[in-house]
Amino acid sequence: MFELIKPRRLSPGDTVAITAPASWVDREQVIAASTYLQKLGLHVRLGDTLSEQHGYLAGTDEERARELNAMFADPDIKAIICARGGYGTGRIADRLDYELIRANPKIFWGYSDITFLHSAIGQCAGLVTFHGPMLIDLGKDVHPLTVQNYETLIRPSVLCYMEEISPLQTLVEGEAVGALVGGNISLIASTLGTAYELDTRGKILFIEDIDEEPYRLDRMLNQLKQAGKFADAAGILVCNFNNCVPNKRKISLTLEQIFNDHIVSAGKPTLSGFKIGHCSPNIAVPIGIVAKMSTYDKSLVCMEPGVEA
């Protein structure tokens, strides 16, 4: 088990690299969105994967992994932000150099399909990473809180999620303290049985997803339940499940019924309603940082910032 390490905060003038470790992306859209980073005084370096297409991937597995390894190795790069998710990070997990990553800790940021890499890097390198909005999320009419996430990388602050951000509902009463882990349900399920399987023992697990029909979520949540992921957790945060509605199967269980069957039944303190994931705003979460959740005051509070001062 690795001792946890945090990346250093950013300073104006630092270089941030943008990569596409999963699906290909509209390069011009990324360039336009990168102005948000430039306004913070950061220099932006675009990876070659932003110009690559290999089927639905942003280049071959070798190309995407090589770029990510090179960005961690480059001392001039202080943070790595993923342009988008989609699909493909699980394909490159075996090609990453985790000793290199641990020896060169820096901010790694993304969500959705990036969940697989969060799990892999956290468990194989012991590095705190960030589940947060990617550049394709920074388009027109972006929520101020979504943009504000990036400011915490320059001016470190402690995540304190209260109902001022969004209404929270208690599913199982209680309090829990543990390291934050989790992300996209589809990707968490895909880690099972691999060397990168998400470890939830004594931790606060947060989950989210998008465009998954209830029966598909039922299948994945059942798999996670049978793998002990909910029973092992100290507490559970049910985040945004955007457009997870019946389509193929119109007669359906509700999400509430599915959560009751697989999550509430574990009996662990559980809150729902967090704006984390495929939603607006999309609040960033430092993965690996110890936090306290309480259903009594409906809060999630990290014990420290996700970056070193």
Sheet holding 43-46, edge to edge: 43-46, 15-19, 77-82, 107-110, 129-131, 285-287
> Rounded distance, CA 256 to CA 199, Å?
25
Q: Is 163 exposed, middle or buried (0-12, 13-18, 19+ CB in 10 A)?
A: exposed
CB neighbour list of residue 82: distance below 8 Å, 6 or more residues apart: 18, 19, 20, 21, 22, 109, 110, 114, 134, 135
> Rounded distance, CA 289 to CA 283, Å?
15
Q: Is 12 exposed, middle or buried (0-12, 13-18, 19+ CB in 10 A)?
A: exposed
> Rounded distance, CA 72 to CA 80, Å?
8
Q: Look up 278 and say whether it is catalytic.
A: yes
> Rounded distance, CA 121 to CA 189, Å?
17
Question: Catalytic residue among 23, 112, 186, 190, which?
Answer: 112
Residue 200 is given by DSSP the state -
Q: What pairs with residue 294 in β-bridges?
A: 175, 299
Closest CA to 131 of 301, 294, 300, 289: 289
Question: Catalytic residue among 118, 131, 262, 278, which?
Answer: 278
Question: Catalytic residue among 190, 208, 212, 294, which?
Answer: 208
Q: Which residues are catalytic?
A: 112, 208, 278
